[in-house]
Structure 1
Amino acid sequence: MLLTQEQLAEAMGVTVGTVSKWENGNCVPDINTMMDLADFFNLSMDALVGYSMVSKRVDDIIEESFELYREHRLDEAREHLDKAVVRYPNDVKILRRAGSVYYISWYQDNKNEDFRNRAIELFNRALRILADSPENKIDEIAILKQLALLEKDNEKQIEIIKHINVDGIYDDLLGEIYWHQGKKEEALACYTKKFHFSVLDATDVAGHMLDYFFSNKKYKELLELYQWVEQTVAGLMLSDKPSYLTRYVAMIKTCEAICYELIGNHEKMMSEIALAIEKAKAFDADPVYDIYTNVRFVYGTKKDLPVAYDDKDGNTVLGIKQIVDEIYSTGDLGFTKKELQAIKRVQEYIVKLINN
């Protein structure tokens, strides 16, 4: 029996997207649906389960295409995926991968229109399937981004990007489109926002990695990471004026101080804590929470000024104490008794300087 995914979906009372997931191995039907499928195809359950295992071939095809892509063998990758599209015409993973390879081919080959048109065709086919699977919004957003890059009409490009620009993730792309339209101020505003939020993101990621470095006792590596973050942040600061980055530096130096104490450099711990408290007091005396005030590299229109937030107390001095308290009291980092004593010394030194 030869059926399209649409026909099987209708027969089973499910969406085309669900059938596609069964076929590519992303999920399997529940036992009741398995029994219905076996009856529908007049197969035993053993035979049906065997067919489900064969469908894992989709993942192999995707991996093989990635290998060709990594080796810059785009001609072979396109041929490989064209065959896969014929075999799995409604598989979103195959369609996305094929569309991406055709997009890269168009980008590299002097904007070859055949490649461009093929990429658009494949992406649009994937979107039509995803319309039956509203849970797959991430796939849809990724496809729409690439369709925007393939679009020649600037206004349509902007419309697509604005539709998917959640939390400004594509502000840099939007800025590029504005720039080519001659809308310099709008472009610079997009670039500025993306640039400064990228710095914030790097700082946040470093913070999220604390547990990894502490639990694996990689104190020197953590120190190097925070020194890099501090240098990056400091490069944006105007030395004589407080900004939201002043608060960040206070917190960064606190983490550096803990590392110094853990590797046995007590003098350096004290100097870093002293600098952290100095920065914290400077910020608390004249707090600035919007991201663009008293920092470098701010350009374009300044509408809807973004504001910085963190998870520490409003008072920055108390915030740096809170950082050390939380690290000391976290029970799953595997600190030895000696290491806990080192962190305790950092706590005590902070309290001493605060009370002076």
Structure 2
Amino acid sequence: MHIFSIRKTTFTVFSTILLILYSFTPTLSAQEEITQVQFQKLFKAEANKTKIIHINGGWCIPCFVMLPYVDYLNKHKTENIELTVILTTRARSKRDPNKTFIAWCAKRNITLNFYTVSGKMGENGLPDTIPMTYFMFSDSNLHRIVGWTDYHKEFLLKYVKKDATKTVEEVKHLYGEDKRSKKLLFGGNTYDLSTSKLWKLEGSNGAIRTGVYVNKGELVNITARGKILCGNTSEYITPKGISPDVFKKYNHIESANHGTLIAGILDESKESLLQKEIVGKKATFIAQKSGKLYLAVNDKVYQDNAGFFEGTIKRYVPAKE
């Protein structure tokens, strides 16, 4: 009788613990496969409401990196925010197509409800680039951010409650950053992320010091977006620039597109440019010399320019074996 009571009590306690653990086990709940019609409805502006539509995938590193920030927003968003998450599916195994993805999220206590979309997104009338977030404001203005930049993360965190506001670094620490996001394979070699920062270049300034010092052999990754109005073209251009044929005489790098984003490594002590690189919307290159990193618009006559470019700079060092 005594032994039975102990066993019964033990079983009851064990069952209670299991019930508690089960109740708090992080889960990802797929609502339904979204259609093009449903997707379009998400972009109808509503009074006093900001709609945030985040499109993610369960396999690429940038997608994994962005999920903690989306989850944090979901748990701490203000009342006027409507968040919708769309997950693109891709088979991980025959038994469970999202097994790895769900396990990764569960480990970080990420709990999101999401719509799914199978196959190629473009075939469903949806954008084919991820991770991507749309912000539909009540005045019908639409803002879109693509990628896994700090700018993207910071923009999401703008919509959490004031008493829950966190910086990118705090959220990163809260969830634990995926180590794979700090690795980059380039030219057959592996590099570790050392520096990551945002930058902004006003068209009328022509060039900026980025504050990043690179050593010979390190890897530099630069992304850019935005538009600049070049005075000698009378049109807004993206970081890709426009054909240099007519404007060669105005270019810092004659062969590069006019108005494109370019980078340089400078030895300030000798005021000499050690290396030039054409960046455009994105570029990755190895530093041939050590020096300070500069960014510039490929336009010598910049005083009459307007608009701006902005983006991220990541500096990688050779990985230790």
Common topology (TM > 0.5): no
- TM-score, with normalisation over the residues of structure 1? 0.25
Larger Rg: 1
- TM-score, with normalisation over the residues of structure 2? 0.27
Higher percent of residues as strand: 2
Relative contact order (alpha carbons < 8 A, sep ≥ 6): 1 or 2 greater? 2
